[in-house]
Amino acid sequence: MELDKARNPTWAFHIFPHGPQSIILPDMKSALFLFCAGLACTASAVTVYPDYEPDALLRNPGCGWILYDDASWYVARADAYWSAQDRAAREFASIFYIRWRWSEMEPTEGNYAWKNDANFKALIDGAKKRGLRLAFRVYVCGWNNAKQATPEYVFKAGAKGKSHPGQDGKTFLTPNADDPVFRAKYEKFIAAFAAEFDDPKCVDFIDGCGLGRWGEGHTLTIEDEKRTDESLEWVAGVYARHFRKTLLGWQIGTAMGAQTELKKIIRPFDFVMRRDALGSSCMDADVGTILEAFPRTPLFAERCFWSDHFRPEQIAAMEPRVGKNWKTWKDIDASAVDEALRLHANTFDLRTIVDTARFMTYPDVVLRFQRECGYRLAPEEVSFPGSVKAGETLAVNNSWRNHAVGVLPNLNRRWGSKYRVAWALFDASDKHVIGRFARDAEPGEWVKGTVYRCNQTKLPVPADTPPGRYRLACAILNSAKDGMPDLNLALKSPRLGSWYFVGEVTVAP
């Protein structure tokens, strides 16, 4: 329910038994009665307005800047990569995204990178040491690539495909998406991949396609073009069968077209939206679909890949509608961030070493997206009795706000509304004494511009609770206990782990 203060007028008095408190009363008659009768503060409601934190890096799941190892050339060497990306990883990023060829992930059948590739393991370890969550795309098309993207063993097993031009005059085979041998081998790989990485405690999302150029699902290599939609539905279904706990992403604007994939893939399989090329006019046709799907389906976005081989003025000339005011790289990247925020993006890309280094020269752009992207949740107003008797119930009235442009993906079937608002009392030794999840509060529905009043949360205070002063705390916890972190709230309040303290309550005998 939306909070409307205009329809809920209150009167406030300030009295000071243990320091300043605001007592909120429903009307002037009650306020005058309290004033004249001189009732004790502890018998009345305390209302607090927690101090919002607008700037801190929260590092919550499904949200924030992403660093890439984008191997259209060669995969990064872990030592050099993390040496170059260390500052961005520690100060700005939340996710490390490996976008590799299938042939790098499984060079020979059953020989998986996560088991036998020391460099792959070092890249993963480097991300984890810096507090980053993981994301992956595995693609099969070798177009414009340094190496063949599909392992040779797939073709030796009988898969049919077509040749594509690679880099340095090379030619590489790409399997037909409707070829049965390719499908069997690719699903076997995805099953093994999921057995290792369908792990929401450390993996943020998986791109659920891999077909087409750069794995984006367009320009499919296929024997029978009439089977294009069927092939895309097939690969989405394979990922959906094997990845049951981790968010799956689907690239808006595949060969299906945005509206068709919304109806056939994103909604029925419950994928989040992925969209590359933000900032470029080439994705204009998909804007309506992205806005239509939000907020039930969040957008995990990526800017257009404008190569550093071009100068900013050349890029501006290639983008006559959106680039007319672009003079510098900062103009280009700031414009892409503007579009990401307009489309409610949860994530965006600092990208590779070269791209990240450029972004670091204008940290104001980086910090703007950090402040406004995804979800940034905080309680807006909390009311509770200043005192409660042991054996009775402490009633907490509360409202919340999402201060950012995106949405918590809590409604996604793979998360299953696991994140829940919770309240607790802590004693003087910081022992968690009383706690309860809020009833019916759904933070996956909270969008910017609305204040959400939650149902009253009632905390039963056991009769044997020792009398004294207790601290009231709020949190948004992972109720599934599957290893995913509890959420960091956008609060300046003192905290203990996942709990943020918002006030004090006296328990009387």
Report the chain (509 residues): mean pLDDT per 10 consecutive residues.
34 32 39 36 78 97 97 91 98 98 98 98 98 98 94 98 93 97 98 98 98 94 97 98 98 94 97 94 92 98 88 92 92 96 98 96 98 98 96 96 98 98 94 86 97 94 94 97 96 96 95
**For position 307, what pLDDT does the model report?**
80
**For position 18, what pLDDT does the model report?**
32
The residues of the chain that CATH labels 3.20.20.80 are 65-372
First to last CA, the chain: 36
Compute how many other C-beta atoms are within 10 angstroms of the C-beta atom of residue 477: 20
Task: Give the CATH number of domain 388-509; options: 1.10.260, 2.70.50, 2.60.40, 1.10.8.
Answer: 2.70.50
Instruction: Determine how β-strand 171-175 pairs with β-strand 272-278.
Output: unpaired
If residue 122 lies in a helix (H) or strand (E), which one and from where to where? helix 118-129
If 0-12 CB within 10 Å is exposed, 13-18 middle and 19+ buried, where does residue 49 land?
exposed
Instruction: Please name every residue paired with 503 in a beta bridge, in sequence order, or none if there are none.
Output: 472
**For position 40, what pLDDT does the model report?**
37
The residues of the chain that CATH labels 2.70.50 are 388-509
Please give the full DSSP string across 160-177, using - where no structure is assigned.
Answer: -EEEEE-GGG-EEEEE-T
Distances (CA, A) of 117 to 106, 122, 124, 321: 10, 9, 11, 45
**For position 10, what pLDDT does the model report?**
34
Instruction: Please name every residue paired with 396 in a beta bridge, in sequence order, or none if there are none.
Output: 457
**For position 283, what pLDDT does the model report?**
87
Q: Is 155 helix (H, G, I), strand (E, B) or coil?
A: helix
255's CB contacts (< 8 A; 6+ apart) are 212, 217, 218, 219, 220, 228, 229, 232
Q: Which of 419, 425, 390 is nearest to 481 (CA)?
A: 419
If 0-12 CB within 10 Å is exposed, 13-18 middle and 19+ buried, where does residue 283 land?
buried
**For position 434, what pLDDT does the model report?**
83
**For position 30, what pLDDT does the model report?**
38
**For position 19, what pLDDT does the model report?**
32
E-strand ranges in 403-491 read 419-426, 432-437, 451-460, 468-478
| Rounded Cα distance, 254 and 260, in Å | 10
CA angle at residue 274 from 268 to 277, to 5 degrees?
A: 145
Return the structure tokens found at 474: 């709020």
What dihedral do alpha carbons 339, 342, 348, 349 form, nearest 10°?
A: 10
CA angle at residue 35 from 30 to 40, to 5 degrees?
A: 95
Number of H helices, E strands in the chain: 15, 22
375's CB contacts (< 8 A; 6+ apart) are 60, 63, 346, 402, 404, 406, 407, 408, 443, 446
Q: Which of 210, 205, 197, 200 is nearest to 236 (CA)?
A: 210
| Rounded Cα distance, 38 and 134, in Å | 59
410's CB contacts (< 8 A; 6+ apart) are 417, 418, 419, 442, 443, 444
| Rounded Cα distance, 255 and 226, in Å | 11
| Rounded Cα distance, 486 and 499, in Å | 9
**Do the beta carbons of residue 190 and residue 102 sit within 8 Å?**
no
E-strand ranges in 129-271 read 133-139, 161-165, 171-175, 203-207, 247-251
pTM score, two decimals? 0.91
314's CB contacts (< 8 A; 6+ apart) are none
**For position 433, what pLDDT does the model report?**
77
- Does the domain at 65-372 match CATH 1.20.1200.10? Answer given as no
Q: Is 425 helix (H, G, I), strand (E, B) or coil?
A: strand
Return the structure tokens found at 359: 């972004």
